[in-house]
Amino acid sequence: MTPDYWPRAIAELADRDRVLARLIAHYSDLQLRSRGDAFGTLTRSIVGQQISIKAADTVWGRLAEALPAIDPAAVLAADPQRLRACGLSARKVEYLADLARHFADGRLGGGSWDEDDEAVIAALTAVKGIGRWTAEMFLIFYLLRPDVLPLDDIGLQRAMRLHYNGDVPLARLKMRKIADAWSPWRSVATWYLWRSLDPVPVEY
């Protein structure tokens, strides 16, 4: 599933920002996609915390083989030691169980996603192991919200430093000021800046 606002967003961003105009032209064959699986998206984000993309892919593959499905019921029914054997830390096993309970008892899912961005972030960060960054990735990669600016994201910080400040670190206030020109398409701008560092799109 791809966002229907993409053509309008890239046209407006390219018109406003020279850096983005160049990146949009260079990566014209790619765009953001949602897997359409809320629990899977959040599970992937927890699995990938503080490890490399390659390591996260390995752990995810083992998890997919160990469970009959990547869903709340399967996670709650699984022996924690079996999950640990997939390469998950004890803490991440705890996080996944709490996430699964939030879905199983209805605290997350369905109407939860109809709220505004900050309300969704508040609901998600009530889960153990989910902070603001993970919630923002969910807004971008699952809900396809168009105007998310993940200031804590290392990739975005690096790309903005490289393209807008001569590879010198930028203060958050300066990052936000630059990004003001991208609104209401800051998710799209962020996605293209990520592409400038890694042309293969990450999908949660």
- Write out pLDDT tens, residues 19-42: 999 999 999 887 888 888 999 999
* H or E element at residue 38: helix 38-47
Helix (H, G, I), strand (E, B) or coil at 25: helix
Interacting residues of 43 by C-beta distance below 8 A, sequence separation 6+: 63, 70, 75, 96, 99
Interacting residues of 3 by C-beta distance below 8 A, sequence separation 6+: 9, 31, 32, 144, 146
Interacting residues of 192 by C-beta distance below 8 A, sequence separation 6+: 13, 20, 23, 24, 27
Taking the model in full, what pTM does it have?
A: 0.89
* CATH 1.10.1370.30, domain 6-33+148-197, yes or no: no
As a CATH number, domain 38-141 is 1.10.340.30
CB 164 within 8 A of CB 178: yes
Domain ranges for the chain: 6-33+148-197, 38-141
Q: What's the pLDDT score for residue 112?
A: 79
- Are domains 6-33+148-197 and 38-141 of this chain identical in fold? no
pLDDT in tens, 131-164: 999 999 999 999 999 999 999 998 899 999 999 9
